[in-house]
Amino acid sequence: MKNSIRITGGNLKGKKIPFDFKSSLRPTSSKLREVLFNWLQFEMQDNQCLDLFAGTGALGFEAISRGAKKTVFIESNKKNFLMLKKSILKLNLKNQSLLLFKDCFSWIKENDLSNFDLIFLDPPFNNNYEKKILELLNNSQNLKSSCKIYLEFSKFTDVDIPDSFSVFKEKNVGDVKAYLLKYDN
């Protein structure tokens, strides 16, 4: 059974992103995407974005729709990866997207992050991935000083934010909590 979510703003507003409802995907709600991009509305132009745990790609596609120059999508689930590949072609975003079939934990260790203005972190809930990925980012030594990180997690989870990040904005929607973090290096 395929479902879809819609891009909420920008030049791709209203376009559909398909996803498999039976998978473990939990796409970011349109309400939370609206909140996030309202926070960032004057900062998106020409941004380089990194969508870790890309899933449907909703966050990265939304960023491109609202003026980001490029999004690198990292996805380790084969089914989600193939669906993302189709979405990139359907939305005609091949030149603004780089899709990698990788584990984001190892990818971060192996790659330079200094080009990214915005990093999306929406990992599967209840796996303690938030702590692990924030520690990796904190230890990477090559984050851009102006980098912002969007983190989405279950409001029932306690997430320790490393000292090098500060919570710039936060919002609760249902059982989901969202932070916009600033890198304070």
Question: What is the per-residue pLDDT for 132?
Answer: 92
Q: What is the pTM of this model?
A: 0.93
Specify the pLDDT at position 152.
Answer: 93
Give me the CATH topology for the region 2-183. Rossmann fold (3.40.50)
Do 108 and 137 touch, CB atoms closer than 8 A? yes
DSSP string, the chain: -EEEEE--SGGGTT-EEEEETTSS--PPPHHHHHHHHHHTTTT-TT-EEEEET-TT-HHHHHHHHTT-SEEEEEE--HHHHHHHHHHHHHTT-GGGEEEEES-HHHHHHHS--TT-SEEEE-PPTTS-HHHHHHHHHHHSS---TT-EEEEEEETTS--PPPTTEEEEEEEEETTEEEEEEEE--
Per-block mean pLDDT, blocks of 10 residues, the chain (185 long): 81 86 69 89 91 94 96 94 94 96 94 94 88 90 90 91 92 92 84
- pLDDT of the residue at 90: 94
State residue 1's pLDDT score: 40
State the Cα–Cα distance between residues 26 and 169, nearest whole angstrom.
22
User: Pick from 80, 125, 75, 83: which is nearest to 105 by CA?
Assistant: 75
* Per-residue pLDDT at 2: 65
> Among 30, 7, 57, 35, which residue's Cα sits nearest to residue 179?
35
What are the residue boundaries of the structural domains of the chain, listed by start? 2-183
